[in-house]
Amino acid sequence: MDEVFFVVSKLGWIIASPGNLIVLLMTFATIMLLLNKVTIAKFILIPLMIANCLLMAYPVSDSLLSLLEIQFSKPIPLPQNIDGIIVLGGGEKLKQSLSWHTQELGDAGDRFIGAAVLAKHYPNAPIIYSGGSNLLRPVQNRQNEVNIAQKLLTAIGISKERLIIESQSRNTVENFLFMKRKLPKPNGTYLLVTSAFHMPRAVGVARQQSINVIAYPVDYMTNNKQLRQWDFDYIGHLEVLDLAWHEWLGLTAYYWTGKTSEWLARDISE
């Protein structure tokens, strides 16, 4: 069942991705024009162009993503005692790293920076890294993914002896399902490092699997209201919309399929 969920989610996103959906709708409208179905084409193109112009001019998508990013904040002060630091994968560029035999960081590279900060604050805490390939056709040698994560973590100053790496997971629910077997203390308390927009889904899954985590969000992607402005950055705004739409769909799918008992997990410590 998990295999079906993974494949369906990947194939479904091909259509549901905002960028792809825009192209598909424009293609369909063009076909309608060629078939002399002008009314249908206008019905699609006019709202689509208005929405695209607004998306180009102003970061409207920030509102969708910031609703996720505000659900958790870094604990102040940091807890005195923890049993480990969990870092979710996604900060590395897997295909580029494998293509060029190096270790490349992507937009979520702040997850590694967050891990380094916490590793220094808790010098005796183990670092549990969870993340494998989320590709439909994964690379044959899974050891490559282990090496990339390990080299990145050691490069930022974390000793190899502190690392516990899980590299089989392909999505958030598998992160915690496979990682749970490797936790030093199953009933312990762990700081969780992942992107701020991803934190509600990650915490929801952790709670569902009875893993006690304290959120440590990083990699913020939006601006507050005072800093939002008309900047005509279509690609940047579309990227944020893509992240927001993907995460809200993910939250809904996880809730409907019982992978989390909370549609939108919140910080209950406040």
pLDDT band for 269, please (50, 70, 90 cuts).
low
Structure-block tokens of residue 132: 């494998």
Instruction: Name the residue with higher pLDDT: 6 or 187.
Output: 187
% of the chain with per-residue pLDDT over 70: 93
Mean pLDDT in the chain? 90
137 has pLDDT over 80: no
250 has pLDDT over 80: yes
For residue range 12-32, what is the model confidence (pLDDT) as tens digits? 888 899 999 999 999 999 999
End-to-end CA distance of the chain: 36
In this prediction, residue 36 carries a pLDDT of 94
In this prediction, residue 156 carries a pLDDT of 87
- In single-letter form, the type of residue at position 2 comes to D
139 has pLDDT over 60: no
3-state secondary structure of 7: helix
Collect all residues with Cβ–Cβ distance below 8 Å to 218 and sequence separation of at least 6: 110, 111, 113, 114, 193, 194, 195, 196
CA distance 43 to 123: 60
Among residues 179, 173, 149, 160, the alpha carbon closest in space to that of 119 is found at 160
For residue range 229-242, what is the model confidence (pLDDT) as tens digits? 899 999 999 999 99
CB-CB contact of 18 with 26 (8 Å)? no
Structure-block tokens of residue 214: 């304290």
Return the axis-axis angle of helices 234-256 and 172-179, rounded to nearest 10°. 60
pLDDT band for 104, please (50, 70, 90 cuts).
confident
CB-CB contact of 181 with 157 (8 Å)? no
CA angle 52, 242, 55 (to 5 degrees): 20
Mean pLDDT, rounded, for 24-51: 95
85 has pLDDT over 60: yes
CB-CB contact of 84 with 190 (8 Å)? yes
For residue range 150-160, what is the model confidence (pLDDT) as tens digits? 888 898 889 99
264 has pLDDT over 90: yes
CA distance 187 to 210: 8
In this prediction, residue 140 carries a pLDDT of 46
Q: Enumerate the β-bridge partners of residue 128.
A: 86, 164
- Going along the chain from its start, the domains and CATH numbers come out as 2-67+234-255 (no CATH), 73-220 (3.40.50.620)
Total residue length of the chain: 270
Residue corresponding to tokens 């001019």: 57
Taking the CA of residue 125 as centre, how many other CA atoms within 13 Å lie in the half-sphere pointing to its CB?
A: 25
pLDDT band for 11, please (50, 70, 90 cuts).
confident
φ/ψ of residue 193, rounded to 5: -110, 120
Instruction: Name the residue with higher pLDDT: 10 or 72.
Output: 72
φ/ψ of residue 223, rounded to 5: -105, 155
In this prediction, residue 138 carries a pLDDT of 57
215 has pLDDT over 50: yes
In this prediction, residue 13 carries a pLDDT of 85
141 has pLDDT over 80: no
Among residues 126, 84, 131, 89, the alpha carbon closest in space to that of 111 is found at 89
pLDDT band for 216, please (50, 70, 90 cuts).
very high
